Amino acid sequence: MLDRVHPPIDRNREVVIRVRGVEVGFGEKTILRGLDLDVYRGEILGFVGASGQGKSVLTRTILGLVPKRAGTIEVLGQNLDELSPSERRLLERRWGVLFQQGALFSALTVKQNVQVPMREYLHLSERLLDELAMLKIEMVGLKPDAADKLPSELSGGMIKRAALARALALDPDIVFLDEPTSGLDPIGAGEFDELIATLQRTLGLTVFMVTHDLDSLYTVCDRIAALGEGKILAEGPIETLLESDNPWIRSYFHGKRARAAMASGA
Amino acid sequence: MVESLAAEIAAEADQSHMILDLAQVRRLDTLGAWVLDRTRHELGSRDLGADFANASQEQQILLDEVAYRGFQEQAKPRRSKAVDFLVDVGQSVAGAGRDLVDGIAFLGELVSALIRVVVNPRRFRGTAVINQLEQIAYRGVPIIVLISFLVGCIVAQQGIFQLVRFGATPFVVDLIGILILRELALLLTSIMVAGRSGSAFTAEIGSMKMREEIDALRVMGLDPIEVLIVPRVLALVIGLPLLTFISSIAALSGGGVTAWLYGDVSPDVFLSRLRAAVSFNTFMVGMIKAPFMALVIGIIATLEGLAVQGSAESLGRHVTSSVVKSIFMVIVLDGLFAMFFAAIRY
């Protein structure tokens, strides 16, 4: 397992995502009820919660894919509701998203997938586009011969890596990862965690990671936020969550699987 | 088998206490354990006690696990068939109204995306339009030529059979000329395109929706309408008139060949009669309608595609309804155009 020194939490650090009083619902069902959350620059935030509690809904709300009923969301100091379409496009260049199933464009090869955002926003020569795409593909640990394959020809782990390469295409400030290790075998998942930690260090990323993987929480996350009843139940480094007396958090972090992860991870 | 055996045991039971001896049972599965425990339970309720004996340890674990209990039936709302029928009718009507509103709203969105592209031509995706044109128009030519030619033949043949009784065989040229140019070529082409390309749009966009590819576009700051839909609809609006023209030529050729073979109308006579029978506006009536048909097919196909939910079944249902609705709307629109052109005597 990798050694990761958790940096001390400095409350004065820059907040890159500030969520205040966000309320989201579908029809008569309210999923998020006045949720507050801060994500600081340069950290890896693990976001946990029972299924159906709205982890993905919050991610999608921040990304603007789900409309919210109330509250404000600021990303990199800009209120998302107050942006003009062109300012919004500028902001969208500064985040990358890894969807749960990868969401690679199935008609394009891996290399073309990585080049989609570059072609859209940067005006580069074909040669530089190719070189940059290959660089990203190598950075996420894919072999060069994967570059010309179609998503349907890749394994689950390779799809996640390729999707990560695409998310990193424009050197974003923030990366959203939706269950990056789900569907990977334990070794693959461990390698992926390591990859995320390495990339975070080298590129200075802020990572917002929705996950169920206790190993990831122990090994790579600087801070963890637990979601329940439409709010953040607890947040902080893993020690804070271990001490929480919320029943769900207790059973999550003190279950049999959690103890095994603790033994091998921390 | 087991159930009837157990029922027999229960029926024959008359002693006050029964022992179900499992010593000879070599394998016990959940079904067997359930039936046995249910029998025991039923005997118990008739004041005839029953117990198991000689159950091995594994069998006892299984018996404990599947211990008989009544399952509460999920309450189903009871409604009469008549009410269900009325609800269905009401929902369909409301759904049709919603479709119309959605369609008009989407047309607005499409137009505003088009204006954005026109204002900022750098965002125009020429390659995608050409690619779609190849798929819709170029690759559709063979099948459209073939069916149009055949339909031209069939209409001409039937026309000759009827007209020959009045000794008016040469008028078949007027019949097919007007019919094909005004209506048939366009209808055949539109229906074929709705089936070929409309279904493909819905399936492509629907599967992209299922695989979160549409969301991926959005979070990259790309507008799915600009990237995916404008090129497709533009290609349809350009391609359908072209195909209609080709279809007209093919159908007229088919009619001409048949008129020659069945009605002894030589190509010379055919062409000169055709020139007398049809005017430029006969041809234009068909061509004017084509872009509108393209728009209707494109809007319905994309709306259905975007409505796809997560399941494969939903994809199938929306592809079907995309084709059905497009063909229906094409025919309705053609009817409206016929009334319009009749009213303005064009």
At residue A266 the predicted structure's pLDDT band, cuts being 50, 70 and 90, is very low
Residues of B in contact with A105 (CB under 8 A): 208, 213, 216
Average pLDDT of chain B, as a whole number:
89
CA B57 to chain centre: 57
Nearest CB to B218; choose among A65, A93, A105 = A65
Query: Distance (Å, rounded) from C-alpha B32 to C-alpha B296?
Result: 60
What is the SS3 assignment for B68? coil
Amino acid A92: pLDDT: 87
Q: Does B207 share its domain with B124?
A: yes
At residue B188 the predicted structure's pLDDT band, cuts being 50, 70 and 90, is very high
The answer, yes or no, to whether residue A228 has pLDDT greater than 60, is yes
Q: Does B285 share its domain with B337?
A: yes
Query: Distance (Å, rounded) from C-alpha B170 to C-alpha A136?
Result: 72
Secondary structure string (H, E, C) spanning chain A:
CCCCCCCCCCCCCCEEEEEEEEEEEECCEEEEEEEEEEEECCCEEEEEECCCCCHHHHHHHHCCCCCCCEEEEEECCEEHHHCCHHHHHHHHCCEEEEECCECCCCCCCHHHHHHHHHHHHCCCCHHHHHHHHHHHHHHCCCCHHHCCCCHHHCCHHHHHHHHHHHHCCCCCCEEEEECCCCCCCHHHHHHHHHHHHHHHHHHCCEEEEECCCHHHHHHCCCEEEEEECCEEEEEECHHHHHHCCCHHHHHHHCCHHHHHHHHHHC
Domain of residue B59: give its range. Answer: 2-65
Task: Return the higher-pLDDT residue of A213 and B252.
Answer: B252
Summarize pLDDT for B3-39 with one digit per residue, the tens.
777 777 767 766 667 777 888 888 888 888 888 888 8
Q: Does B113 share its domain with B39?
A: no
Question: Domain for residue B26, yes or no?
Answer: yes
Question: Domain for residue B70, yes or no?
Answer: no
Average pLDDT of chain A, as a whole number:
85
Helices (DSSP H) in chain B: which residue ranges?
2-12, 30-45, 57-65, 81-119, 126-136, 141-163, 172-179, 185-193, 199-210, 213-219, 224, 230-263, 267-277, 280-306, 312-343
Amino acid B247: pLDDT: 97
Q: Does B199 share its domain with B238?
A: yes
Partner B contacted by A89 (CB < 8 A): yes
Task: Return the higher-pLDDT residue of B231 and A8.
Answer: B231
Looking at B33, B65, B97, which one is the last position of a domain?
Answer: B65
Amino acid B148: pLDDT: 96
**Lowest-confidence range among A42-56, B139-153, B183-197?**
A42-56
- Single out the residue of A15, A53, A73 nearest to residue A223, CA to CA: A15
Residue-range domains of chain A with CATH? 42-65+94-265 (3.40.50.300)
Query: Distance (Å, rounded) from C-alpha B179 to C-alpha B128?
Result: 35
Find, in chain A, the residue whose alpha carbon is nearest to that of B207: A106
Question: Domain for residue B76, yes or no?
Answer: no
Interface A:B, Cβ pairs < 8 A: 47
CB contact (8 A) between residue B212 and residue A64: no
Amino acid B191: pLDDT: 96
CB contact (8 A) between residue B220 and residue A99: no
Q: Does B93 share its domain with B55?
A: no
**Lowest-confidence range among A163-167, B26-30, B152-156, B245-249?**
B26-30
CB contact (8 A) between residue A105 and residue B218: no
Q: For residue B113, give how far its alpha carbon lies from the nearest alpha carbon of chain A (Å).
A: 13
Amino acid A217: pLDDT: 83
The answer, yes or no, to whether residue A265 has pLDDT greater than 60, is no
- Residue A21 has φ and ψ, to the nearest 5°, of 55, 40
Nearest CB to A103; choose among B212, B221, B222 = B212
The answer, yes or no, to whether residue B123 has pLDDT greater than 90, is no
The answer, yes or no, to whether residue B155 has pLDDT greater than 70, is yes
B-proximal residues of A, 92-111, CB under 8 Å: 92-93, 95, 97, 99-101, 103-106
Question: What is the rounded average pLDDT of the residues B109-125?
Answer: 87
Q: Which residues of chain B are at the A interface, by a Cβ-Cβ cutoff of 8 Å?
A: 207-208, 211-213, 215-216, 218-222
Amino acid A11: pLDDT: 57
Summarize pLDDT for B286-338 with one digit per residue, the tens.
999 999 999 999 999 999 999 998 888 999 999 999 999 999 999 999 999 99
Residues of B in contact with A100 (CB under 8 A): 212
Q: Output the CA–CA distances (angstroms, integers) from residue B66 to A93, A161, B2, B31, in the order listed.
A: 57, 45, 16, 9
CA A135 to chain centre: 21
**Lowest-confidence range among A96-110, B56-70, B102-116, B188-202?**
B56-70
Amino acid A175: pLDDT: 92
Nearest CB to B213; choose among A95, A103, A117 = A103
Partner B contacted by A65 (CB < 8 A): yes
Q: Tell me which amino acid residue B10 is.
A: A
Nearest CB to A92; choose among B211, B212, B220 = B220
The answer, yes or no, to whether residue B125 has pLDDT greater than 80, is yes
Query: Distance (Å, rounded) from C-alpha A48 to C-alpha A45?
Result: 10
Q: Does B165 share its domain with B314?
A: yes
Nearest CB to A116; choose among B207, B211, B220 = B220
Whole-number percent of chain B with pLDDT over 70: 98
Amino acid B8: pLDDT: 76
Question: Domain for residue B258, yes or no?
Answer: yes
Question: What is the rounded average pLDDT of the residues B41-49?
Answer: 75
Q: For residue B75, give how far its alpha carbon lies from the nearest alpha carbon of chain A (Å).
A: 22
Residues of A in contact with B221 (CB under 8 A): 88-89, 92-93, 120-121
The dihedral sign for the CA sequence B314, B317, B323, B327: negative
For this complex, say whether ipTM is above 0.85. Answer: no
Q: Does B287 share its domain with B188?
A: yes
Residue B77 per-residue DSSP state: P
Amino acid A1: pLDDT: 43
Q: For residue A107, give how far its alpha carbon lies from the nearest alpha carbon of chain B (Å).
A: 10
Q: Does B282 share its domain with B321?
A: yes
Query: Distance (Å, rounded) from C-alpha A143 to C-alpha A103?
Result: 20
Q: Would you state the structure tokens that stand for residue A182, as one six-digit string? A: 């789900």
Amino acid A101: pLDDT: 84
- Single out the residue of B221, B112, B228 nearest to residue A94, CA to CA: B221
Question: Domain for residue B190, yes or no?
Answer: yes
Q: Does B19 share its domain with B95?
A: no
At residue A264 the predicted structure's pLDDT band, cuts being 50, 70 and 90, is low
**CATH code for the domain of B27:** 3.30.750.24
Question: Domain for residue B75, yes or no?
Answer: no
Nearest CB to A99; choose among B207, B208, B215 = B215
**Lowest-confidence range among A25-34, A38-47, B181-190, B232-241?**
A25-34
Q: Does B94 share its domain with B242?
A: yes
Find, in chain A, the residue whose alpha carbon is nearest to that of B209: A103
Question: Domain for residue B74, yes or no?
Answer: no
Looking at B35, B65, B95, which one is the last position of a domain?
Answer: B65
CB contact (8 A) between residue B219 and residue A88: no
Amino acid B25: pLDDT: 82
- Residue B237 has φ and ψ, to the nearest 5°, of -65, -35
Find, in chain B, the residue whose alpha carbon is nearest to that of A89: B221
Amino acid B293: pLDDT: 96
Give the strand pairing for A70-75 and A15-26. antiparallel
CB contact (8 A) between residue A105 and residue B213: yes
Q: Which residues pair with A23 in a beta bridge?
A: A70
CB contact (8 A) between residue B219 and residue A63: yes
Number of domains chain B is built from: 2
Q: Does B192 share its domain with B97?
A: yes
Q: Output the CA–CA distances (angstroms, integers) from residue B38 to B8, B32, B41, B67, B72, in the order listed.
A: 13, 10, 5, 8, 16
The answer, yes or no, to whether residue A81 has pLDDT greater than 70, is yes
Q: E strand or H helix at B18, and its extent?
A: strand B17-21
CB contact (8 A) between residue B222 and residue A120: yes
Q: Does B146 share its domain with B258?
A: yes
The answer, yes or no, to whether residue B116 has pLDDT greater than 60, is yes
Amino acid B327: pLDDT: 96
Secondary structure string (H, E, C) spanning B154-206:
HHHHHHHHHHHHHCCHHHHHHHHHHHHHHHHHHHHHHHHHHHHHHHHHHHHHH
Query: Distance (Å, rounded) from C-alpha A185 to C-alpha A158?
Result: 12
The answer, yes or no, to whether residue A140 has pLDDT greater than 60, is yes
Amino acid B239: pLDDT: 96
